[in-house]
Amino acid sequence: MTRPAADAQHPAVGATPPPPRPHDDSRRRPAARRVVLAAVGDEPLDVEHHADLVGDPAAGAVVTFAGRVRDHDHGRAVVALGYVAHPSAAQVVAEVAAEVAGRHPVDALAVSHRVGDLAVGDVALAVAVAAAHRHEAFAAAADLVETVKHRLPIWKRQVFDDGTDEWVACP
């Protein structure tokens, strides 16, 4: 199969992307850096709702992430999962969201983490980031997910198909 030639607008698949511009002069106004949602709760999460919340006329890109409960961990079958949050979790997720918005030229971001009992396939972490350009939105979304996973005081109890369980990320 012949791959089309790369050009400035459409690089070849697998090509190294250009580095982000140091100064974005394509915008009509500075990035708003709004945090429209930063929450921890026990209600089911809807990633599309998060995407709708971050909508902005200046945003040419909206990146979403759905962290879902998978049916396995380290080669073992997972049948159920529960998250427990420290009382400071809502404050911490708000701080993380504000820090990430401050580090990246985003127009808006939304992040929620679910607690309680979840089933395989349920969304545990929902993220949406709107920015003028895709590389900004992807970078901010990745930073947000990794920082939440690193700092949010939420612990996970996994139940395996053999009836055993384990706590993950629990001090």
Q: Which domain holds residue 157?
A: 34-166
Does residue 1 surpass a pLDDT of 50? Answer: no
Question: What does the block give as tokens for 163?
Answer: 């009836």
In the block, tokens 């003028």 appear at 132
Residue 7: per-residue pLDDT: 45
Average pLDDT of every residue of the chain: 89
pTM above 0.75, yes or no: yes
Number of domains in the chain: 1
**Torsion angle, alpha carbons of 50, 54, 59, 65, to 10:** -30
In a domain, 151, yes or no: yes
Neighbours of 31 (CB within 10 A): 21
156 DSSP β-pair partners: 83, 168
Residue 131: per-residue pLDDT: 97
Per DSSP (E only), the strands in 6-140 are 34-41, 61-68, 72-73, 76-85, 106-114, 116-118, 123-131
CATH number of the domain to which 109 belongs: 3.90.1170.40
- Please write the tens of the pLDDT for every residue from 12-36: 455 555 455 455 567 778 888 999 9
